[in-house]
Amino acid sequence: MYKIGFIGMGNMASALMTGIVKSGYLKAEEICGADISEQACMNAKKRGHMVFENNHEVIKHSNLIIIAVKPQVLEGVIGEVHDDLKNKAVMSIALGYDFEKYEKLLDASTRHLTIMPNTPVEVCEGMLLLEAKHSLKEDEYQFIVDMLNHIGSTEVLPSHLMNVGGALSGCGPAYLYLVIEGLADGAVKNGLPRAAAYKLASQTVLGAGKMQLETGLHPGILKDNVTSPGGSTIRGVKALEDAKVRSAFIEAVDKAC
């Protein structure tokens, strides 16, 4: 039996598979999957995973099933494997499908949990949201929590907050890539080579996030700590406030909810 089996091996599933192996929690050969995309299957094989021809075989040979298909096809996929999932443990990463929706789709004997990961799980720096309501056995739930904590940080949220949490941590990487790109462009405009600019910008974003997490200080305090009176940093902050960057981020999260 494989430890985990993926139904769907697209970008998010690929990031999870890569991160889980990179973290050392599981070996590549302990993970299997299936996908209708030949390219996705080829990529999984190159990473050392077992690829089955159909979802029925994945379910048959796996202890934990991870549903990683797009929301628009999920109900059709579930319908095809409904009986196969009886008495199985399932973890879903499909956007918009919470505990109550799965209760209507799955057999009463199927145990399930919904999570929302983000793409930085690929480098073991993900943010993973777990829906508080689930029907897994204690050992199944603990296996998942341990695995996810190897590829990032976890947060348990009530069902009604999963979407807003996902709008922040799930969509957030895209927003921060824009920040990195913008910071780097500003440095390039003033003569810094682009490769160095990307490195400086990315490490600065990484370091600032880690600083807040480890100190627990309010972001405003950390900002104040690096803004000397009349200095260059406060002038840069003023430019960002003039451009309504803070408001733009609030609007971005709001639109994504």
Angle at CA of residue 37, ends 78 and 95, nearest 5°: 45
Side-chain half-sphere CA neighbours of 216 within 13 A: 0
- Tell me the pLDDT tens digit for each residue of 53-99: 999 999 999 999 999 999 999 999 999 999 999 999 999 999 889 99
**Could you tell me what percent of the chain has a pLDDT over 70?**
100
Please state the residue numbers annotated as binding site for NADPH: 55
pLDDT digits (tens, 9 = 90+) for 132-149: 999 999 999 999 999 999
Sign, Cα dihedral of 74, 76, 81, 86: positive
11-55 pLDDT, tens digit per residue, is 999 999 999 999 999 999 999 999 999 999 999 999 999 999 999
Range 42-58 burial, b when 16+ CB lie within 10 A, else e:
ebbeeeebbbbeebebb
Backbone torsions φ then ψ of 11, nearest 5 degrees: -60, -45
- The predicted-structure confidence for 237-250, as pLDDT tens digits, reads as follows 999 999 999 999 99
**pLDDT for 16:** 98
Q: Residue 211's pLDDT is what?
A: 98
The whole-number pLDDT of residue 1 equals 86
Q: Which residues are annotated as a binding site?
A: 7-12, 55, 68-71
**pTM, 2 dp:** 0.94
pLDDT tens-digit series, residues 105-136: 999 999 999 999 999 999 999 999 999 999 99
Q: Which residues are annotated as a binding site for NADP(+)?
A: 7-12, 68-71
Instruction: List domains and CATH numbers for the chain.
Output: 2-158 (3.40.50.720), 172-256 (1.10.3730.10)
Largest CA distance in the chain: 68
